[in-house]
Structure 1
Amino acid sequence: MKVSLFLSPCRMNARCSLLKLRRKLIPSLLSLLTLCVLLLITVKYSSITESLPPPVDIQTFQKYNVNCKAIYDMDPVEVGKSLITRTNQLVEDTDESLSTATSNCPMFMKTRGYDDVCVSEEEKDFPIAYSLVVHKSAWMLERLLKAIYSPNNIYCIHYDEKSSAQFTSAMKGLAGCMPNVFIATKREVVFYGDITRLKADLNCLSDLLRSEVQWKYVINLCGQDFPLRTNIELVSELKKLNGAHMLETCQPTKSKKKRFTFHHELRDNSEFGKWQEATKQRKTPPPHGIQMFTGSAYFVLSRHFVVYLNSSAVVRDLLDWSEDTFSPDEHFWATLVRIPGVPGEVPRSQGDITDLMSKTRLVKWEYLEGKVYPPCTGEHVRSVCVFGAAEMRWLLSYGHWFANKFDPKVDPVAIQCLEEELEERQRFFRKAAISSCPKH
């Protein structure tokens, strides 16, 4: 029987129909399979994203639409605009928003540029320590920190134990985001004119000495200070000191002698709350025959001097003796640097080093305006000028390293424009120091 090599017409039509059906079904099945896979991935991804914390919206401080270059050049139109801005457009930056921002450290560091600070070799070889004694305005402190920040420096924050819970939370948030920023291990309830203000700095100095960072100099600041020099400029200036200090130290006036001649007690005051008030009881003379000098609460001190402070019985005795004096931080440092033989000694025979001679801090006193320096363009608080934007050029050209006071509630434009100017200077000086900016 012969088998035909050809199919019958009936069988051929069935085979063709089957082939056509297969061609239609296969793409449909593939599409269905693809859809199932995509659906599975979507469901799985959704379950993952639902388990992740929601992204935090980084709300920083208010920025204002001003031309800082024109303000620096004292353009009358732009200076006038800054006055209008501070009168009509002020927005209060809340402590809570900084707490929220620092709850997402990677985003906060990136948004504020802490993760992208380049450091010259000169800066790496010369770390600086800071004692920051603060009690309010969290964003102002953060902006100060950002302006002086370098990853090789070390920063101690001492917040007043009376500070609000929101402020305290914001400070802890800052310290939690940066390994070289920490909260003082011992904190004081600080009162005006009391030794607790001095102890706040001493607590930070003690912590800073225990740090692994081998800093060369320590600078203390408060929450209303702001730098007038960049970190790389400060390093250059500190090197020139060659172990000496930068602080105010003068022979005491008759009125200032009363601060440590009579016993003072912490009492209630209508203006300041609790503060040190003089009694008629005279104090014993200073211990060890120490000759007293007066100055400022603010200093630039060498590491060698701070090590000496930490181990000296004379220093401890002077501190104990100062417990019942008024504003001991304004005679303690000024006196210690005059003691013969201390590291970086300022000889007693040397004349007064006034606040205008010391580059540590530039303060504009109301009673000297028009005589020593131009009038305040901001506001006065207890005879001290809270700077306005129109003073930016004068501030940056006077020669000091830091200035006090600034307040975003008085003139936020002054702070914003100083930030811009310092960022520009930082780029310029680092570019001059290094051909390429290495990552830290």
Structure 2
Amino acid sequence: MCERERGRERERMFCRCFTPKSQLKRLLLLSMTFVLPCLLKLFHSHRMVTGTQKTWLVEPFWSTSQFVRNRKSGKYLHLQLEINCTAIYECSSVEVGKTLEIRKGNIVDLEDEDVELMTSDCAQFLSQRGYQSTLVSEAEKVYPLAFSMVVHKDAIMVERSLKMIYMPQNIYCIHYDQKSSSSFKAAMNNLAKCIPNVFIASKLELVHYAHISRLQADLNCLSDLLQSSVQWKYVINLCGQDLPLRSNFELVSELKKLSGRNMLESMKPSDIKKERFMYRHELQDIANEEGRMPFKTNVLKEPAPHNIKVFTGSAYFVLSYDFVKYISHSTVAKEFLAWSADTYSPDEHFWASMVRVPGVPGELSMSHAEVTDLQSKVRLVKWSYLEEALYPACTGTHRRSVCIYGSAELRWLLNDGHWFANKFDSKVDPVLIKCLELKIRERQKYWVELTPQKFYIYNQSENFWG
């Protein structure tokens, strides 16, 4: 069986195994009745006159325009490929087969320099990217959210993530790594200049892998968000390869059910993970790589201050305003943070432990059961060594044991129950990103128009946009 046929068979098996027939009929009826038409001309296929491999432009309009720095040459033959996102969602072997054809080719996306230039004209950028037409319900308008985005590369993916979660009533802090390229930094600064309620963190860290600088980057954004005039209810932190699985309307509805509680992982540490905070760690250069990371020494640490019992979890969270305010003023939190400075990946135990401290806002009691990554709705990550056992196999590819999702996972991602997911990469499967954005937009429209409450369409004529 040729590689393409093996790929198509894998996609078909994925859909057959994880899509019950009754659910398929119900969702098909829903899509036919309520969902917007989903046929998009997503990509241009460019075949060089002197070559045979197709080059797929993820952003045909921008890539061939004067609005980017690395404009594509006219020596390409322009063809179009139509992708039906509803068919992708319904696991059509024909449509999934088209995505496999794209993945076999040379996928070209915008570089940081391109994003820097395309965001240099705010009016043109906002108009072309659709930021100036947003459907918002009254329920969302009075329930603003905050986001902390800690990023370091691939400006176009950061912009796509921001575009998918952007609502004019929300507030967004972007923290970029001091090590990032000058073009990436310029692109982020332009996004903050162009888009209302988006700003750059007032203090920027030199972020190192598994070091406290990663945790400090989020804390810097949280501190700034507390000073914002936006009276946000919850804060959510993301990285540059995260995308939402819920519309803002759905997310607000879910968060209201928490009633002030926090949503994050919190588990008892394994013996291996205990070594991350039982021993001091020192920042050292990484062999054959740029950058530094903490390495374990033989020096034992003192127990955590204030008899804090250390739990482990994830760096990613959904935290209430009151909890974040507590963290910013609490002596307990500050001393625990200082104690964590020479541990390994403190962002994976700081939040998981602080949420267990008796009396904190939205407390998770010591007697409460462990909250795993599958029980927490914050962020879905598919690990290669848990595939088949806990979730279906990855249909994209893997990077450091983490699945970079493929198009055949669109339906599963949207129906799994999580609010965000990682990882997405346009160089692996651009169709999935395009179709996910469309589905999120459709869901927002469906729920906002269904609610009897008043809703608003923000556009450039509104005072909000100045």
Paired residue for 1:288?
A: 306
Q: Secondary structure at the match of 1:252?
A: coil
Q: Which residue of 1 aligns with 2:116?
A: 99
Are 1:422 and 2:434 an aligned pair?
Answer: no
| Deviation at residue 408 of structure 1 after TM alignment | 1.0
1:410 aligns with 2:411: no
Do structure 1's residue 247 and structure 2's residue 256 form an aligned pair?
no
- Compared CA separation, residues 212 and 64, structure 1 to 2 (3 A): farther
State the partner residue of 2:274.
Answer: 257
CA distance in 1, matches of 2:106, 2:400: 25
Which of 293, 298, 321 is 1:303 aligned to?
321
Paired with 1:413 and 1:271, the residues of 2 have a C-alpha distance of 34
Q: Is this contact kept in 2: 1:217–1:302, CA < 8 A?
A: yes
Q: Report whether the alignment pairs 1:347 with 2:365.
A: yes
Instruction: Write the distance in 1 (CA, Å) between the matches of 2:260 and 2:347.
Output: 22
Shift of residue 118, structure 1, vs aligned partner: 2.4
Query: Counterpart of 1:83?
Result: 100
Give the helix-richer structure, 1 or 2.
Answer: 1
CA offsets, 1:172-206, max 9 Å, x none? 01000022000000000111110000000000000
TM-score after normalising by structure 2: 0.80
Deviations 1:71-126 (A, max 9, x none): 11111121111011122141121112211121111111111111111211001110
Superposition deviation, residue 271 in structure 1: 6.2
Tell me if structure 2 keeps the 8 A contact 1:134–1:158. yes
Deviations 1:234-282 (A, max 9, x none): 0000000000011000011111100000000011123663111101110
Aligned equivalents of 2:297, 2:303: Cα separation in 1? 16
**Contact 1:366/1:380, CA 8 A, preserved across alignment:** yes
Does the 8 Å contact 2:137/2:453 carry over to 1? Answer: no
1:232–1:430 contact (8 Å) kept in structure 2: yes
Give the structure 2 partner of residue 316 of structure 1: 334
Which of 139, 147, 156 aligns to 2:156? It is 139
Match of residue 12 from structure 2 = none
Q: Contact (CA 8 Å) 1:129, 1:218: kept in 2 or not? A: yes
Tell whether the 8 Å contact from 2:139 to 2:453 is kept in structure 1 after alignment: no
Q: Which residue of 1 aligns with 2:171?
A: 154
Contact 1:58 1:108 in 2 (8 A): no
Question: Paired residue for 1:163?
Answer: 180
Matched, 1:389 2:407: yes
Could you list the per-position Cα deviations for residues 396-439 of structure 1 after superposition, in whole angstroms to 9, with x for gaps in the alignment? 11000000011111111111110111111111111112577423
Aligned partner (choices 172, 197, 211) of residue 180 of structure 1: 197
From 281, 293, 307, the equivalent of 1:275 is: 293
Kindly indicate whether the alpha-carbon contact (under 8 Å) linking 2:138 and 2:455 is maintained by their aligned counterparts in 1: no
**CA distance in 2: counterparts of 1:93 and 1:86, whole angstroms:** 17
Q: Report the count of equivalent residues.
A: 385
Deviations 1:257-313 (A, max 9, x none): 000000000111236631111011100100011111000000000000011011000
Conserved 8 A contact 1:58-1:111: no
Distance 2:259 2:454 in 1: 29
**Runs of 4 or more off by more than 3 Å in structure 1?**
56-65, 434-437
Aligned to 1:126, what secondary structure does the other structure show?
A: coil
The question of 1:203 aligning with 2:216 is answered no
Judged with a 3 Å threshold, the aligned counterparts in structure 2 of structure 1 residues 213 and 411 are, in CA distance, closer, same or farther, namely same
Show the counterpart of 1:356: 374
Give the secondary-structure state (helix, strand or coil) at the position aligned to 1:247: coil
1:228 to 208, 229, 245: 245
1:326 aligns with 2:344: yes
Q: Any stretches of 5+ residues in structure 2 without a counterpart?
A: 1-64, 73-79, 459-466
- The 2-side partners of 1:212 and 1:436 are apart by 24
Match of 2:456 in 1: 438
Secondary structure of the residue that 1:199 maps to in structure 2?
A: helix
CA distance in 2, matches of 1:195, 1:79: 42
Q: What letter matches 1:197 in structure 2?
A: R
SS in 2 for 1:155: strand
Q: TM-score, normalised by structure 1?
A: 0.85
238-247 or 82-91, larger mean C-alpha shift: 82-91
Structure 2: distance between partners of 1:171 and 1:64: 31
Q: Which protein has the larger Cα radius of gyration, Structure 1 or Structure 2?
A: 1
